[in-house]
């Protein structure tokens, strides 16, 4: 693999315009394919195996008119009653909206200043492209809005559309550019990683759009994939450009420097990127198709930026040549010059000379940050979590204020009248009406042939309230055979339970995979186990910060949230799989250098100090870029994207500071030679994975000398 990447890198630098032309052609073809067969993302919550899905299937079979999407039209008057004549005309117009099968009679609030109209479709929400569904509703509500009434839209049709603003991406890219200019001191060198990342992200975006035309893709998945793609794309290109610049400084010709950089750093990129891709398949273990789409979208994005990095970076480096270096450093460094001790080496020596206090202090800080995770409560994002500029959120707030919090998340009692008799149904309805968590029940609706009935149940508490889930479980415990409770609130409760149950399975599988891969790479099981433990601490700390910020409301207003919200059910597993893949970048980059020095010197203490010193600048720059990109997405209006941005930024910040700069050197100093112990039998059966290409072209950099760094 190293020799193959060397050939690609050299060829790219020798014929840069050919490689650039190929990638530009791929970009055009990808967008052409997306335009031809692409579609819009949709959240499809039909999930086989969930208890609520059984009831949903019964309603779809026996009530075809309710088998599709739904919407809510909320009409509000600030200074009086909404006239019945206006509502009658509105209802008539709503019946002509494409796909609408049933328009329920308007339901007034107690003071009659608000009216709620439920609309049902006989087509799924996935039939609507982009804002097509809401546009049709707006056309129908236009006359009543022109009459001076406020009209807001809720339900699946209004909530199931995604309109990326691009603000988060722009913030992350601009900050990343500033960090790159500071790190390289050259605008040319700073621009290379950004150019590669943007081309890779562009192709990845087109592929995701194409996938959305062929299968269901969550509305949030493209934004999450873009966030990760920008971060890893810049990081991978940064690693390659840094290694290319190192070779140039030591007198290697441009074409050969590009080849060697690709053979060494490029091999690390391939390994790290492949690890991210493999980790993402952990999302399949959740058993939720809508959730798996996050993994597929991110898989396409990371794959595109990884391939762009190892083919396009060498071509751009070949064009730029020595312009990637600062002007004052465009001279060949003297190999005989004494080794300059960096600030990072001095820091590593300070930690390594007295490791126990540093290790204990770092561990306590991580545990303190992680402590709030013990109170984490999850709930899928809903309209109540969206920004107040969103019509679905405004409709949610109006319904909450005028009809009670439970009106935003009614349960639907689906009854098979071939299994449940009419007297038993009446008794069940009476029992539910007397429940302490129920605010009221609507009259039962029977289908045309009298084989099924549906009853709307309004809880006293809102969908995200823990008491609502308790009421749901209590009611379900009283159901006879043939009766099921469904509805979006019930589906969301079942999704949260499924994800909470599968979280530990995903953790064990992904951690086991990481340990096996690191053991194969470094032939050091202790190093692998320790790395996995540290990654778990980083993730736990990020979880804890999310609970404090979002669930406890510490700083929620700074992120544009008017109140605290539960952690989105989508976030914990998704963040875990992405982070465990991303953390391999820094792990491999740092430990590969430490192991190389250890094999040459046999001194575990100096190898850690010099290894951290030689990689610290790149790791810090890469981490700062990741943090900038992820923090930019924390400003996104979508609550799931916002949580992912905060969580990933926190995890990377913890990883490149407390873990890499304190915990790693401290624990490696404590363990000494035991870090690299491996049983003889394991050493014999393990494959050899040379992720730094050390068996390829030799690194021209002089061997660091063991000098005092006190």
Across 115-119, 259-263, 338-342, 673-677, least confident range: 338-342
Alpha-carbon distance 310 to 5, whole Å?
A: 8
* DSSP strands (E only) in 348-421: 411-416
Residue 42, CA distances (Å) to 127, 290, 350, 366, 387 in order: 9, 9, 53, 38, 19
Average predicted confidence (pLDDT) for the chain: 87
Which of the residue ranges 49-58, 263-272, 428-437 has the most confident prediction, judged by mean pLDDT?
Answer: 428-437
The answer on pLDDT for 232 being more than 90 is: no
In the prediction, which pLDDT does 364 show?
97
Beta bridge partners of 453: 415, 446
In a domain, 700, yes or no: no
Out of 296, 313, 338, a domain closes at: 338
- The CB density around residue 681, as the number of other CB atoms within 10 Å, is 8
In a shared domain, residues 304 and 444: no
In a domain, 382, yes or no: no
Beta bridge partners of 412: 456, 486
Look at the block and give the residue holding tokens 């720059």.
Answer: 621
3-state helix, strand, coil in the chain (%, to 5): 65, 5, 25
Please give the structure tokens belonging to residue 679.
């049983």
* DSSP states of 638-649: SHHHHHHHHHHH
Out of 110, 135, 159, a domain closes at: 159
CATH of residue 438: 3.30.70.260
Percent of the chain with pLDDT over 70: 94
Alpha-carbon distance 86 to 89, whole Å?
A: 5
pLDDT tens-digit readout, 15-37? 999 999 999 999 999 999 999 99
Q: Which domain holds residue 311?
A: 1-37+169-338
In a shared domain, residues 478 and 514: no
Alpha-carbon distance 339 to 597, whole Å?
A: 15
Q: Which residues contact 575 (CB under 8 A, 6 or more apart)?
A: 539, 542, 543, 644, 647, 648, 651
In a shared domain, residues 422 and 454: yes
Q: Which residues contact 333 (CB under 8 A, 6 or more apart)?
A: 249, 250, 251
The answer on pLDDT for 312 being more than 60 is: yes
The answer on pLDDT for 79 being more than 80 is: yes
Alpha-carbon distance 514 to 532, whole Å?
A: 7
In a domain, 701, yes or no: no
The answer on pLDDT for 647 being more than 80 is: yes
Q: By the 8 A CB rule, do 189 and 245 touch?
A: yes
Out of 464, 494, 524, a domain closes at: 494
Q: By the 8 A CB rule, do 461 and 406 touch?
A: yes
In a domain, 457, yes or no: yes
Please give the structure tokens belonging to residue 495.
């999704």
In a shared domain, residues 459 and 553: no
In a shared domain, residues 118 and 179: no
- The CB density around residue 12, as the number of other CB atoms within 10 Å, is 26
pLDDT tens-digit readout, 343-397? 888 898 999 899 999 999 999 999 999 999 999 988 887 788 777 778 999 999 9
The answer on pLDDT for 705 being more than 80 is: no
Quick one: pLDDT band at residue 151, thresholds 50, 70, 90? very high
pLDDT tens-digit readout, 650-704? 999 999 899 989 999 999 999 999 999 999 999 898 887 665 555 444 444 444 3
Percent of the chain with pLDDT over 90: 49
In a domain, 210, yes or no: yes
Look at the block and give the residue holding tokens 């690194």.
Answer: 699
Alpha-carbon distance 210 to 208, whole Å?
A: 5
In a shared domain, residues 4 and 146: no
In a domain, 697, yes or no: no
In a shared domain, residues 198 and 276: yes
In a domain, 91, yes or no: yes
In a shared domain, residues 87 and 12: no
The answer on pLDDT for 514 being more than 50 is: yes
Phi, psi of 18 (to 5 degrees): -65, -45
Section 645-649 average pLDDT: 92
pLDDT tens-digit readout, 609-642? 888 888 888 888 888 888 988 888 888 888 888 8
Determine if residue 80 is left, alpha or beta; phi over 0 gives left, psi from -120 to 50 gives alpha, anything else beta.
left
Please give the structure tokens belonging to residue 75.
């009409």
Q: By the 8 A CB rule, do 241 and 324 touch?
A: yes
Q: How many helices (H) and strands (E) does the chain have?
A: 23, 10
In a shared domain, residues 537 and 681: yes
The answer on pLDDT for 481 being more than 50 is: yes
Q: Which residues contact 162 (CB under 8 A, 6 or more apart)?
A: 40, 41, 219, 220, 222, 223, 638
In the prediction, which pLDDT does 316 show?
93
Quick one: pLDDT band at residue 643, thresholds 50, 70, 90? very high
Please give the structure tokens belonging to residue 624.
């700062």
In the prediction, which pLDDT does 693 show?
54
pLDDT tens-digit readout, 401-410? 999 999 999 9
Q: Using CA atoms of 509, 510, 516, 519 in order, give the dihedral in degrees to the nearest 10.
A: -150
pLDDT tens-digit readout, 118-142? 999 988 877 787 788 899 999 999 9
Q: By the 8 A CB rule, do 3 and 263 touch?
A: yes
The answer on pLDDT for 161 being more than 50 is: yes
CATH of residue 587: 1.20.1640
Residue 116's nearest CA partner among 143, 145, 85, 151 is 151
Alpha-carbon distance 245 to 317, whole Å?
A: 9
Task: State whether residue 420 is helix, strand or coil.
Answer: coil
CATH of residue 80: 3.30.70.100
Alpha-carbon distance 399 to 220, whole Å?
A: 25
CATH of residue 323: 1.20.1640.10
- The CB density around residue 284, as the number of other CB atoms within 10 Å, is 15
Residue 258, CA distances (Å) to 5, 9, 19, 321, 480 in order: 10, 5, 14, 9, 70
In a domain, 408, yes or no: yes
Q: By the 8 A CB rule, do 369 and 625 touch?
A: no
In a shared domain, residues 670 and 570: yes
Please give the structure tokens belonging to residue 552.
């406890």
DSSP conformational letter for 567? B
Residue 138's nearest CA partner among 127, 123, 151, 148 is 151
Report strand pairing: 445-446 vs 100-103: unpaired
In a shared domain, residues 197 and 318: yes
In a shared domain, residues 139 and 183: no
Number of domains present in the structure of the chain: 4
């Amino acid at each position: 693999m190293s020799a193959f990447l060397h050939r690609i890198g050299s060829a790219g630098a020798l014929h840069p315009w050919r490689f650039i032309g190929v990638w530009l052609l791929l970009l055009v073809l990808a967008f052409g394919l997306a335009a031809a067969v692409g579609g819009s993302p949709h959240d499809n919550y039909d999930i086989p195996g969930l208890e609520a899905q059984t009831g949903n299937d019964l309603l779809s079979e026996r009530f075809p008119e309710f088998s599709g999407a739904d919407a809510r039209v909320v009409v509000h008057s600030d200074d009086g009653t909404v006239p019945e004549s206006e509502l009658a005309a509105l209802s008539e117009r709503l019946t002509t909206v494409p796909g609408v099968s049933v328009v329920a009679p308007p339901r007034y609030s107690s003071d009659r200043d608000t009216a709620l109209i439920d609309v049902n479709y006989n087509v799924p929400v996935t039939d609507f492209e982009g804002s097509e569904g809401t546009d049709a509703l707006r056309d129908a509500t236009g006359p009543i809005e022109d009459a001076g009434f406020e009209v807001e839209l809720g339900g699946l049709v209004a909530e199931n559309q995604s309109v990326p603003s691009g603000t988060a991406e722009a913030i992350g890219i601009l900050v990343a550019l500033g960090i790159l200019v500071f790190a390289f001191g050259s605008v040319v060198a700073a621009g290379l990683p950004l150019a590669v990342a943007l081309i890779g992200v562009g192709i990845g975006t087109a592929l995701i759009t194409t996938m959305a035309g062929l299968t269901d893709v969550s509305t949030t998945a493209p934004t999450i994939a873009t966030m990760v793609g920008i971060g890893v794309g810049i990081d991978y290109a940064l690693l390659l450009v840094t290694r290319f610049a190192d070779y140039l400084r030591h007198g290697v010709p441009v074409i050969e420097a590009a080849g060697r950089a690709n053979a060494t750093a490029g091999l690390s990129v391939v390994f790290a990127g492949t690890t991210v891709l493999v980790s993402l398949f952990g999302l399949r273990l959740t058993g939720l198709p809508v959730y798996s789409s996050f993994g597929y979208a991110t898989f396409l994005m990371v794959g595109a930026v990884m391939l762009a990095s190892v083919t396009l970076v060498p071509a751009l480096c070949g064009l730029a040549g020595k312009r990637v270096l600062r002007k004052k450093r465009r001279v060949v460094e003297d190999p005989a010059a004494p080794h300059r001790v960096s600030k990072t080496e001095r820091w590593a020596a300070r930690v390594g000379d007295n490791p126990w206090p540093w290790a204990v202090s770092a561990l306590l800080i991580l545990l303190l940050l992680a402590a709030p995770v013990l109170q984490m409560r999850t709930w899928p994002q809903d309209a109540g979590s969206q920004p107040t500029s969103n019509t679905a959120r405004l409709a949610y707030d109006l319904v909450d204020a005028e009809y009670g919090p439970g009106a935003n998340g009614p349960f639907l009692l689906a009854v098979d009248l071939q299994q449940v008799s009419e007297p038993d149904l009446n008794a069940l309805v009476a029992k539910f009406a007397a429940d302490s968590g129920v605010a009221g029940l609507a009259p039962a609706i029977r289908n045309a042939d009298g084989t099924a009935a549906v009853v709307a149940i309004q809880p006293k508490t809102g969908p995200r309230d823990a008491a609502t889930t308790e009421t749901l479980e209590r009611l379900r415990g009283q159901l006879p055979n043939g009766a099921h409770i469904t509805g979006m609130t019930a589906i969301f409760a079942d999704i949260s339970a499924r994800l909470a149950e599968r979280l530990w399975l995903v953790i064990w599988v992904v951690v086991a995979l990481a340990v096996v891969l690191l053991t194969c790479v470094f032939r050091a099981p202790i190093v692998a186990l320790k790395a996995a433990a540290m990654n778990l601490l980083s993730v736990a700390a990020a979880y804890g910060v999310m609970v404090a910020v979002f669930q406890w409301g510490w700083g929620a207003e700074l992120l544009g949230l008017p109140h605290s919200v539960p952690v989105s059910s989508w976030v914990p597993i998704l963040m875990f799989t992405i982070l465990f893949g991303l953390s391999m970048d820094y792990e491999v980059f740092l430990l590969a250098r430490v192991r190389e020095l250890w094999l040459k010197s046999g001194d575990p203490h100096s190898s850690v100090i010099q290894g951290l010193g030689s990689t610290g600048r790149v790791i810090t720059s890469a981490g700062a870029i990741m943090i900038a990109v992820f923090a930019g997405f924390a400003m996104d209006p979508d609550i799931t994207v916002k949580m992912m941005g905060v969580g990933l930024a926190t995890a990377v910040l913890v990883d490149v500071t407390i873990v890499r700069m304190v915990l790693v050197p401290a624990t490696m100093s404590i363990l000494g030679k035991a870090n690299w112990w491996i049983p003889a039998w394991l050493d014999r059966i393990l494959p050899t994975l040379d992720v730094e290409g050390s068996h390829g072209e030799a690194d021209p950099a002089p061997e660091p000398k063991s000098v005092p760094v006190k």
